[in-house]
Amino acid sequence: MPITNQTDKKIIAIFKLMKYLLQGKEINAYDPIILEEFNCSYKTLERYLKDIENSFSNIITIKKSNKNYYKLIKASDVIREFLQIEDSDIAFVYEWLKEGEIYHELEEETKKALNKVSKSKKEIMVFKSYPFEDFKSKKYKDIFDELKVAVKNNEYRDIVFEYDEIENYKDAKCLKLVFVDNNWYVAIEDENSKLKFLRISFIHNIKKVRDYSYQKSALEKYNFFFKTFQNSMTLYGVEKKKATLQTTPKIAKYFQKDMKKFFPSQEFIEELNDGSIRFSLLYTQPLEILPFIKRWLPDMSIIEPDTLKEEYKNDLKKMEELLK
């Protein structure tokens, strides 16, 4: 078949490059033999490879080394690299991997290496929570698997969900599977174009609807939110408020400037003369941070805003009534 234009040439080159990568070959963008074979400059060849990476990132990943080599990264390659990182939490990774499909696709040699390192790590570590332990029952595993398909293919689903009451979500766009607050959620856009997090354990039924997918632009508008949300109670499209909190000296050490943050928005303000710490949090609704503050009773107080302080006081009054 004759090559009629530059577009045809590019398409043929990309398919040929994909074939090379899938065969496990490495491609050096500066290799004169490769450049002669593809009849292009190294910049054009790198552009073709970048097009492959951008278009098929959900299927393949290209690794570019310092010497401009490109290759297909297999699961085994990733695991081998991870195994060489000293003090890596490989025991946790192993427990997570063995529940999924990737583990079964690994080469036997990689499985053995993974198992060996994991065993040595587990002699000094204990893990009591893993992402997949919520789905021991077949029903919820089936729902989870169905949601994986829906998210991967940008599909719609009818979802029956029950928390305080039964809710029916029709034609829900399944956007992302989210592991947060030690639970799995599915992020959906409902028929009113509102973003919601549904805890998968509370989903009773799921049914495929429509024979076509939604446009990817429906997901792209939430990209920034998915990168910045704090927990399952963070609201999309709601202006953030700022809360100033204060600890007692008793728990101040957990909120020092150099300590690990409990929230991405957490900011150290100052240490007071008595050893107390003041810090701030951003929130979109009180439920986003109030459960956290209550966990530290009676060693954390709200300085501002007054609206949040009043809601906190009302919750404490209700708690006091229940204890009578």
Domains annotated for the chain, with CATH where assigned, are 6-72 (1.10.10.10), 75-122 (no CATH), 134-228 (2.30.30.100), 241-323 (no CATH)
Beta carbons of 48 and 7 less than 8 angstroms apart: no
Residue 4 confidence (pLDDT) = 46
Residue 47 confidence (pLDDT) = 83
Residue 92 confidence (pLDDT) = 53
Q: Alpha carbon of 169 to those of 159, 173, 192, 195, 235: distances in Å? A: 5, 10, 10, 12, 18
Beta carbons of 110 and 100 less than 8 angstroms apart: no
Residue 50 confidence (pLDDT) = 78
DSSP secondary structure string for all residues of 171-201: EEEEEEEEEETTEEEEEEE-TTS-EEEEEGG
Residue 209 identity: V
Ranges of the chain with pLDDT below 50? 1-4, 87, 132-133
What is the Rg, in whole angstroms, of the alpha carbon atoms belonging to the chain? 26
Residue with tokens 């439920």, as numbered in its chain:
287
Distance CA 220, CA 229 (A): 15
Q: In what order do the strands lie in the sheet with 300-304?
A: 267-271, 277-283, 241-247, 300-304
Beta carbons of 312 and 297 less than 8 angstroms apart: no
Residue 1 confidence (pLDDT) = 40
Q: Would you say the pTM of this structure is higher than 0.85?
A: no
Residue 25 confidence (pLDDT) = 76
Residue 266 confidence (pLDDT) = 96
Residue 222 confidence (pLDDT) = 93
Residue 81 confidence (pLDDT) = 58
Residue 168 confidence (pLDDT) = 95
Q: In what order do the strands lie in the sheet with 69-72?
A: 27-28, 69-72, 62-64
